[in-house]
Amino acid sequence: MLRSTIEINNGVNIEKYKFLNYKAEKAKIFTADEVKKFLNEAPSNVYLVTKVALIIGIMGSCRMRELHSLTIEDVKDLGSALLITMPDIKTNLYRKFTITDKLYTICRQYIDLRPANAPCSFFLNYQKGKCTIQKIGKNKFGVMGRQIAKFLKLPNPEMYTGRSFRRSGTTLMYMQG
């Protein structure tokens, strides 16, 4: 309708202007080697919450909003593994997955830093090696992919977003199975 109105009133055919037909680019995907390198080399006193979000985001192929809505009740410590019951925001169902071995150790380190009086949200603000009681906002998950890409010195770090976690998890699972 807008196209027709502009053509009738101004005599301009906007179909000639291709830059108006914006096509969104998909978030880039982290490789298994990039994930391992970040988890092994990034200093935990700066990147611990980012490491945990990356682990949970990839292992559960999580959306940013799912990470944001994760509560401490959704994470059950089994002693040598974490059982995570992730609420699926699209279907209102739940999916379960486990985190074990070294990834468990990283997540456990973060859980141990949570203050006793913390709210029920799983992800809390983390600065200078300490957790505060403030819940991480949904936009913070959106920039974590870029932070990881900058740390790894990957080209075009702005192309890595919070969506990179879900896309990477799906791709890595497909490659394994």
Would 88 be classed as within a structural domain? yes
Element (H, E) at 81: strand 81-87
Would 167 be classed as within a structural domain? yes
Would 134 be classed as within a structural domain? yes
When divided into structural domains, the chain yields a total of 1
Q: To 5 degrees, how large is the angle CA 38–CA 30–CA 33?
A: 55
Using CA of residue 26, residue 28, residue 32, residue 36, what is the dihedral sign?
negative
Rounded to whole angstroms, what are the CA distances from 75 to 24, 62, 121? 34, 14, 10
152-159 — which CB contacts under 8 Å span 24+ positions?
152/34, 152/37, 152/38, 154/28, 154/34, 156/28, 159/25, 159/27, 159/28
The tens place of each residue's pLDDT in the chain, 177 residues long, gives 777 888 888 888 777 766 655 666 788 999 999 999 999 999 999 999 999 999 999 999 899 999 999 999 999 999 999 999 998 778 888 899 999 999 999 999 999 999 988 888 999 999 888 888 899 998 999 999 999 999 999 999 999 988 899 889 888 775 554
C-alpha 148/C-alpha 174 separation (Å) is 22
Would 163 be classed as within a structural domain? yes
Contacts of 53 (CB under 8 A, 6+ apart): 67, 123, 141, 144, 165
Q: Give the CA radius of gyration of the chain.
A: 20
Beta 124-127 vs 94-100: how paired, if at all?
Answer: unpaired
Would 108 be classed as within a structural domain? yes
Would 10 be classed as within a structural domain? no
Task: Look at residue 2 in the predicted model and tell me its pLDDT.
Answer: 76
Indicate which CATH number applies to the domain containing 129. 1.10.443.10
Tokens standing for residue 23: 């096509």
Full domain range(s) for residue 146: 26-176
Would 9 be classed as within a structural domain? no
Cβ atoms 71, 122 nearer than 8 A: yes
The DSSP 8-state label assigned to residue 132 in this structure reads: E
